[in-house]
Chain A
Amino acid sequence: MGNTPYLPGRRRLLRLAGGALAGGALPRAVRPVDARSTTDTITTRTIPASGERLPVIGMGTWITFNVGKDEAARDRRTQVLRTFLERGGRLVDSSPMYGSSEAVIGHALEQLEDRHDLFAASKVWTPSGSEGRSQIERSERLWGIERFDLMQIHNLVAWEEHMDTLLAMRESGHLRYVGITTSHGRRHGDIERIMREHPIDFVQASYSLANRAVEERILPLARERGIAFIANRPFQGGRLIDRVKRHSLPGWAAEAGMRNWAEFLLKFIVAHPAVTCAIPATSRVEHMQENMDALTGRLPDEALRRRMVEHVRGL
């Protein structure tokens, strides 16, 4: 591939565009959930590989959906997922590494009358390249879906072997997009190399107002190469939002249309032009409501983003 930007083939573009239209991926008004959101239009970003549009707030499931067979906890996660989809969210991200999370997502999807426009994203996480396909099939069974929209190589585990499998599955139409992931700022050098040398559609890494390492090279490279970017750990595993919530939201943020700290932190992330989607995780409906507030209203400009950084640094 060298340094030539990866451009998807015409056949693949047509297929992806078809899937995007079938999935209702174009911007639309949010379904009525509460008075606040009935007239708002959700913010979406384009997936460069296809032109499909994706709401900028997704949902992570690390820790929060790993509840085992605890029926009461499963019911509460179903409510969280229902709220996410009803407020206009699409991308749900998980992994076989997240314990029972995939089974709990599958249980929740089974309970929902309407899956809306779910964009199913999971990961392959096994040190054996030959087990990749069977692990993906197991994940499909757990979610109760026929195929994933996006399959990512989790933390680059055995990535060379899995890359061939995933690209072949994409070529055959069994996957729509292929991606790679990292977190906590690890292996950015390898991530960059793969972004340059392999025809991936998505890259996922940690990005938050307090951890902006990806702004240096990964995000510019994502733009240059036409790769969608998913921001994980937007609240730094909850520690960042716990820290800022001890303080009241500044007046200038409220004037800029931000209603709560979750919206503040998420809008900072998704206002970056190279970011396609942020995936906060929560186990509580009220927190999901706050997260989804970031899906509507105007995004901060560069000057406001700088002010947001300075403000949080001073807290």
Chain B
Amino acid sequence: METWLSYRPADLIMFSPEIYVRLFERLNLAAWPVQLLLPALAAGIVLLANSRHPHAHRLAATGLAAAWGMAAWWFFPLYAEINLAAPWLATLFAAQSLLLLLVAAGSGLRLDRRSVTWWPGLALLLWGMALHPLAGLATGRGVAGAELFALAPDPTAIATLGIVLMAHGPGRWRLTILPLAWCAISAATWWSLLSQGT
């Protein structure tokens, strides 16, 4: 354990930034034409959660569970080619998908404008569903490697945090644990990749 603790996160990253970015291009190629359905899925989750009908809230949670399941299904097999820890990380996404299905079996996800975290939640939701895919363009990565909600893990986790912050109910915080864990892992990965030498 002492030996492991002496490693920096950057020492444990076993792939280069180039190959990690290429992973999203390969993901989009492998998943095509699923991308055409993603805007409808994203909009549907938000509209259903914003509805007044309990059935719609359950469908919203089911839709979000599907988004996590899709990311686990499409992204992590590719990631496992270059990261020995990917199968373990995929279980985070599968577990969040199951958790959301449990919520769907209960009262579902209902947005609540009176929530004190409504505005931060809305900002995260917009970031995850709309701006994050475009962020890559600003860094010169190109549209082919855009990270899309429900396929790529980062926008899926970010948008989920947004929805949960906008939602009603005291138990909603349980749904933030795994997305926050993934965001921390992803941030550490990017930080380590960017600190790699050439």
Contact = CB atoms under 8 A, between A and B. Distances in A.
A205 to B, nearest CB: 14
A68 B10 CA distance: 20
Interface in A249-308: 283
A283 B18 contact: yes
A98 B23 CA distance: 17
Interface in B1-29: 3, 6-7, 10-11, 13-16, 18-19, 22-23, 26
A274 to B, nearest CB: 25
B3 A238 contact: no
Nearest to B86: A99
Interface string B72-85: 00000010011110
Chain A interface main SS type = loop
A235 B197 contact: yes
B19 A184 contact: no
B14 to A, nearest CB: 5
Nearest to A282: B198
A100 B16 contact: no
B196 interface: yes
A235 B81 CA distance: 26
A202 interface: no
A73 B22 CA distance: 9
Contacts of A237: 10-11, 196-197
A186 B3 contact: yes
B30 to A, nearest CB: 11
A63 interface: yes
Interface string A236-253: 111111100000000000
Interface in B167-198: 196-198
A66 B11 CA distance: 15
* Best-surrounded residue of A62, A73, A98, A99 (most CB of chain B within 10 A): A99
Given A100-B82, A184-B6, A70 B26 contact: yes
Given A66-B19, A184-B7, A187-B3, A100 B197 contact: no
Given A63-B15, A66-B14, A186-B3, A242 B81 contact: no
B197 A99 contact: no
B16 A186 contact: no
B82 A240 contact: no
A69 B79 CA distance: 10
Interface of A: 62-64, 66-70, 72-73, 97-100, 155, 184, 186-187, 235-242, 283
16 contacts: A64-B16, A67-B15, A68-B81, A68-B82, A73-B18, A73-B19, A97-B84, A98-B14, A99-B14, A100-B81, A100-B82, A186-B6, A235-B197, A241-B197, A242-B198, A283-B18
Given A68-B23, A68-B81, 15 more contacts: A62-B14, A63-B196, A66-B19, A72-B22, A73-B18, A99-B15, A99-B83, A100-B81, A155-B3, A184-B7, A186-B3, A186-B6, A236-B197, A238-B196, A283-B18
